[in-house]
Amino acid sequence: MNDSFKALHQLFYNKTKISKNELFILFDEVGIPKENCWRTIYRMIFDVRINSNPNLNQRIPRAFLEPVAIRALENIKNKDFSETAIFNLIKDYHSASSATCEDRLKVVVDELYELTNEFKSMTMEKQENIKTLESETVILIESDLNIDDKIKLIKSKFKKTMDLFKTDLIRLGQMSNTDHLTGLYNRRFFDEQLDIEASQSIKEKTCLNLLMIDIDDFKQFNDQYGHPIGDQALRIVSKNIQIICDDELSSNGIFFFPVRYGGEEFAVILPVVDINEAFKIAETIRKKISSYSFVVRDKKGGIKHHNLNLTVSIGLAMLDHRQTQANGIKALIENADAAMYDAKRAGKNCVKIRVE
C-alpha cells in the first residue's frame, strides 16, 4: 500500500508515463473501488494524457488541479470511498476545469475588448480620411490644373489614404497577437509560433527550448495587495522578461519570444540556443525579477507600499527531434511545465530542467 501510494503521488507530480492497465493495477493496490465512477474520476486526476478542459481543448493547469489530487490522496489514506467523497471529488474537478475555462476566457474577452475599441477608433479615423479625400478630389477636379497634373495628384492622395489603411491593418494584426495587460505576445501567438519554430528546428536539426515561468505565491500577493497592484506586478515581471529577451537580441541577434501564457504564468520560446545557454538565460530572468523592488503609489503620488519583491519558478525543456512535430510540441510543453513544478517543490525561486 505505502509503495503504491507513493507511486500514485509521484505520478501526479512527476508526470510519469504509465499505461491504463498499469494505472488500474495501482488503483487496485491502494484500494480504489472498481466502480466506473471511481475509476473515471481518479484516472482524470492522475492520468496527464487526459487531463484537459473539453470546453477549450486546453490542459488544466497543475495549480488548479493540485487541490483535487490532494483530496483524492486523502481519501485513499482515510479509506473514504463514500458517496459524499466521490461527489466532492467530481465537484472539485469540475471547479478546476471551470477555472481553466474562466481564466482563458477572461484573457480572450479582454483581448477582444481592446481589439474592438481599436477597430472602432480606426473606423472613425478612416471615415474622416475618406471625407477629406472626397473633398480634396472634388477641389482638384474643379481646379485650373491640366488633366495630367490632376490625375497625378488624385492618385497620390488615394495612395496616401490606402497606405494609412495598410498601416492600421498591420497594427490591428499586431494587437491580435499581443496581451493587452503586459504587452507580451499572447497565447494565440504562442501556439502559432511554437509550431513554426518546432518545424524549423526538426528540419534544420537545431535546438529549440521552452521556458515556463510562474510567479511564486501570486494568489496570496493578490489577496494581500489587491488586483490593481497584482496587475502592476504582472507588468513588472513581463517588462523584466522582455528586457532579457531584448538584450539577447542585441547581443546575439537571436529572436526569443516572451509570452503571457495565462494568469500569472509566462513562457519564453528559445530557438537555436542549446539547453546550457537556455538555462543561463532562465537564471538571468530569475535573478533580475527576484532582485527587483517596486513601489506602489496612490493617485497623489504618496507611497502606499514599498520594497515589494516577487520571485518566479522556472521550468526548462528541449524539443525532442525523435518525435513527430505534434507529439514533440506536446511533450515540450508538458516537460517545461513539469520542470516548473519541480522548481516549486524545490523551494521556489529556482530553475529546473526536464529532459526526456
Domain boundary at 65, 87, 104, which?
104
Helix axes 325-345, 2-14, angle to 10 degrees: 110
Same domain, 77 and 150: no
Any domain includes 224: yes
- Which pLDDT value is given to residue 180? 81
Which residue's C-alpha cell is 493495477? Answer: 25
C-alpha separations of 255 from 161, 216, 273, 286, 324 in Å: 33, 27, 11, 19, 24
Any domain includes 193: yes
Q: Is the pTM of this model over 0.85?
A: no
Give the chain's domain count: 3
Any domain includes 182: no
Q: Phi/psi at 302 (nearest 5 deg)?
A: -75, 150
Instruction: Find the CATH number of the domain harbouring 287.
Output: 3.30.70.270
> What is the residue-averaged pLDDT of the chain?
81
Any domain includes 155: yes
- Which pLDDT value is given to residue 51? 64
Regions in the chain scoring below 70 on pLDDT: 1, 13-17, 48-59, 99-127, 129-131, 133-134, 137-138, 140, 158, 161-176, 298-299, 301, 356
Same domain, 209 and 323: yes
Same domain, 97 and 241: no
| Residues 343/314, Cβ–Cβ less than 8 Å | yes
Range of the domain at 88: 2-104
